[in-house]
Amino acid sequence: MPDIAVDLGTANTLIQVKGEGIVLNEPSVVAVERRTGKVRAIGLEAKRMLGRTPEGIIAVKPMRDGVIADVDMAERMLREYLARVLPKRIFRIKPRVVIGVPSGITEMERRAVRAAVMAAGAKEVWLISEPMAAAIGVGLPVVSPRGSMVVNIGGGTTEIGVIALSGIVADASIRTGGWEFDEAIMAFVRKSYNLLIGEATAESIKIQIGSARATGQEREMDVNGRDLVSGIPKTVRLYSEEIREAIQEPVHAIASAVRRALEITPPELSADIVDEGIVMTGGGALLKGLDLLLAEETQLPIHVDSEPLSCVVRGAGMVLDDWDKYSGVLAR
């Protein structure tokens, strides 16, 4: 029976099939016809339509702040993705699914996740909190009494967990992530240059010249958008210093959430974290200089995983591989 691990993220959905590794990594976007509700595209194809769709088509993001905002669209998206990764002949045997969810999720949001995955064709659904899945994915000893700390920065949430004995001992979950960086950049460009830019442009600015603190290497780039005054397309040059200034608010929100989690950590585990440091995972961990900023703020060693985007789905997959060892970290 094909067991499946899913990271249903705000920005991307990743699926790992037991014994096959990660088989799908697509944006969490669905393009639908406004009038009929008919799905036109899902995933990468739909993401390319963001900000470019004609009047009759809208690009919908079913996930908001790490949880399902539109159950119907999430279910359609999951159904499509599961059909893609599972051969038709096997699809009659319903898979067991382990899915990563934010640690600050409410009971209602849990039900929405479970309902969407069951409707998409799962036999049974197990939930694992994202910091726990990320910690397992990077190889931290979550089952041992030794304390480990992980900071998972996704598209819509930042999840911080101090983990020992298969449980989260101290955690902080804030609804700030990569999207907030993008929105801050869009607002800054609009305010400072009277220029309207789309989400995809803001994301590429963040990736190319965004940074959490000075890294000794300043960069610049030209950006195209629409002039708010004349309504005509124009190009402006942006500099890494001003983008750094623009995203200070979400960056500091993440730093203070890390400090908050450290403040409520039991002293015995704090001693372990001083030795081991903090592991950063999730797409937000790729923001230049964020590891250096957190190291300054906490005075602790910070390690960024080599593949931070896939930590949660890798961890959920490892649970499937060793069910007896990790079953204590799951919830129904």
Among the listed residues 283, 300, 264, the one whose alpha carbon sits nearest the alpha carbon of residue 158: 283
Q: What CATH number is given to the structural domain containing 36? A: 3.30.420.40
- In a shared domain, residues 188 and 147: no
pLDDT at position 1 is: 56
pLDDT at position 81 is: 86
pLDDT digits (tens, 9 = 90+) for 229-262: 999 999 999 999 999 999 999 999 999 999 999 9
pLDDT digits (tens, 9 = 90+) for 132-142: 999 999 999 99
pLDDT at position 14 is: 92
Q: Which amino acid is at 161?
A: G
Residue 68 backbone dihedrals phi, psi, to 5 degrees? -75, 120
- In a shared domain, residues 267 and 207: no
pLDDT at position 88 is: 59
- In a shared domain, residues 36 and 117: yes
- In a shared domain, residues 236 and 263: no
Domain range enclosing 213: 178-248
Q: How far apart are CA 42 and CA 210, in angstroms?
A: 28
Q: How far apart are CA 198 and CA 269, in angstroms?
A: 44
Among the listed residues 80, 15, 65, the one whose alpha carbon sits nearest the alpha carbon of residue 310: 15
pLDDT at position 82 is: 82
- In a shared domain, residues 302 and 318: no
pLDDT at position 73 is: 85
pTM for this predicted structure? 0.89
Q: Does an H or E element contain 332, and which?
A: none
- In a shared domain, residues 192 and 261: no
- In a shared domain, residues 188 and 126: no
- In a shared domain, residues 218 and 93: no
- In a shared domain, residues 69 and 55: yes
Residues of the chain with pLDDT under 70: 1, 87-92
Q: Which amino acid is at 195?
A: L
- In a shared domain, residues 18 and 107: yes
- In a shared domain, residues 103 and 20: yes
pLDDT at position 70 is: 82
CA separation (Å) from 77 to 13, 80, 164, 275?
A: 9, 5, 35, 42
Residue 284 backbone dihedrals phi, psi, to 5 degrees? -65, -20
Q: How far apart are CA 216 and CA 289, in angstroms?
A: 10
- CA 53 and chain centroid, separation: 25
- In a shared domain, residues 124 and 212: no
Q: What CATH number is given to the structural domain containing 212? A: 3.90.640.10
Tokens of 103: 């640690």
Number of domains the chain is built from = 3
pLDDT at position 150 is: 94
Residue 206 backbone dihedrals phi, psi, to 5 degrees? -60, -45
